[in-house]
Amino acid sequence: MTAVESRPAGVVGTRPTSRPFGARVGAFVALTKPRIIELLLISTVPVMFLAQRGVPDLWLVAAVVVGGYLSAGGANALNMYIDRDIDAVMSRTERRPIVTGMVSPREALVFGVTLAVASTLWLALLVNVLSAALALAALLFYVFVYTMGLKRRTAQNIVWGGIAGCMPVFVGWAAVTDSLSWSAVVLFLVVFFWTPPHTWVLSMKVREDYAKAGVPMLPVVKGNVAVARQIVVYSWVMVGVSLLLWPLGHTSWLYPTVAAVLGAFWMKEAYALQARAKAGIVGAKLKEMRLFHWSISYLTLLMVVVAIDPFVG
């Protein structure tokens, strides 16, 4: 039995007996939460096409993608450093690098700060100062406001903490125009109202994990019916806001058509989840992950049409 396997529950950072170089590299990559960053980039690159009203400079796109990854990766690494105590008691996070000891807390802290500094300099030098400032603001908000302030104190944590996840929209727009616009604000708000339903359905699935860690996610402090009702409310606002891009962003017929169809499918799933919750269905039959998976598809497809629409117009 290795040191990792014999680590007492709740003990963080016990070093395994062997740490191969490849595994160490993988552990540092895992600190950046690559799968989450994929979603952030989905809301960055398409916005650049809309801002350019065509194909933006591909070197600029590459610079923004690299800088955005470094910035979000630094924020995620610092998040894992701060949350290492609760990660150790949650089954969905107990294999994270700091918990297993593959990366020490100090290494994670230095790594996160290094990425934060590097990303800010990268964006400032290769893109523009505004995009660098917006990315840094998102990082600081995620670390200090959400992770250290809201997450363990309020059930509204993800509502306001989600602002950090909306900032890539502004970064992408600012990278192309060196300014912001109402189009960018609309897409920012779409992601803002998308984030709570997307997160709450996952939280419904792993509710016991959050309860065990003492994190007051909405499904922990409210019943499924109340959570489903909030999901429906936020979903209506999200779909409504998404359609504002048509008049404010001067899009073609393509964007509002696709946005309306995607929104209709979203609302169908949201109301179906609410009906199952009201019927007292729990466990696997609640099927809350159907909306979670659809939420990813929704945002991806909506942003794809954001990128395509300028060519249609």
Query: Above 70 in pLDDT, residue 1?
Result: no
Write the CB contacts of 150 (distance below 8 Å, at least 6 apart in sequence): 156, 157, 160, 161
What is the per-residue pLDDT across 218-247, written as a single tens digit (0 to 9) for each?
999 998 999 999 999 999 999 999 999 999
Whether 14 is in a domain gets the answer no
Asked whether residue 104 falls in the same domain as residue 156, the answer is yes
CATH at 268: 1.20.120
Whether 275 is in a domain gets the answer yes
Asked whether residue 152 falls in the same domain as residue 283, the answer is no
Asked whether residue 166 falls in the same domain as residue 192, the answer is no
Q: Report how many domains make up the chain.
A: 2
Measured distance CA(282)–CA(276) in Å, rounded: 8
Domain of 199, in residue numbers: 181-313
Q: Point out the domain boundary residue: 162, 178, 194.
A: 178
Please list the alpha-helical segments (H only) found in the chain.
Answer: 21-31, 34-42, 45-52, 58-82, 84-87, 97-100, 105-126, 129-140, 157-161, 163-177, 182-205, 207-213, 218-221, 224-243, 245-248, 254-278, 289-312
Whether 4 is in a domain gets the answer no
Whether 200 is in a domain gets the answer yes
Asked whether residue 264 falls in the same domain as residue 133, the answer is no
Give the range among 115-119, 182-186, 204-208 with minimum mean pLDDT.
204-208
Q: State residue 6's pLDDT score.
A: 38
What is the per-residue pLDDT across 41-92, written as a single tens digit (0 to 9) for each?
889 999 999 999 999 999 999 999 999 999 999 999 999 999 999 999 999 8
The DSSP secondary-structure symbol of 156 reads T
Q: State residue 18's pLDDT score.
A: 61
What is the per-residue pLDDT across 78-106, written as a single tens digit (0 to 9) for each?
999 999 999 999 998 999 999 999 999 99
Q: Point out the domain boundary residue: 178, 208, 226.
A: 178
Q: One-letter amino acid identity for 292? A: F
Write the CB contacts of 44 (distance below 8 Å, at least 6 apart in sequence): 64, 65, 68, 168, 169, 171, 172
CATH at 171: 1.10.357.140
Of the pLDDT bands very low, low, confident and very high (cuts 50, 70, 90), residue 39 is confident
Average pLDDT of the chain? 91
Q: What is the mean pLDDT of residues 183-199?
A: 97
Measured distance CA(295)–CA(298) in Å, rounded: 5
Asked whether residue 188 falls in the same domain as residue 81, the answer is no
Query: Above 60 in pLDDT, residue 259?
Result: yes
Asked whether residue 264 falls in the same domain as residue 171, the answer is no
Question: Quick check: 70 and 123 in contact, CB under 8 A?
Answer: no
Of the pLDDT bands very low, low, confident and very high (cuts 50, 70, 90), residue 13 is low
Long-range Cβ contacts of 19-26 (<8 Å, 24+ apart): 19/102, 23/102, 24/102, 24/103
Q: State residue 158's pLDDT score.
A: 93
Angle between helices 34-42 and 289-312 (to 10 degrees): 40
Q: What is the mean pLDDT of residues 146-164?
A: 94
Q: Which two tokens stand for residue 248?
A: 């404010």
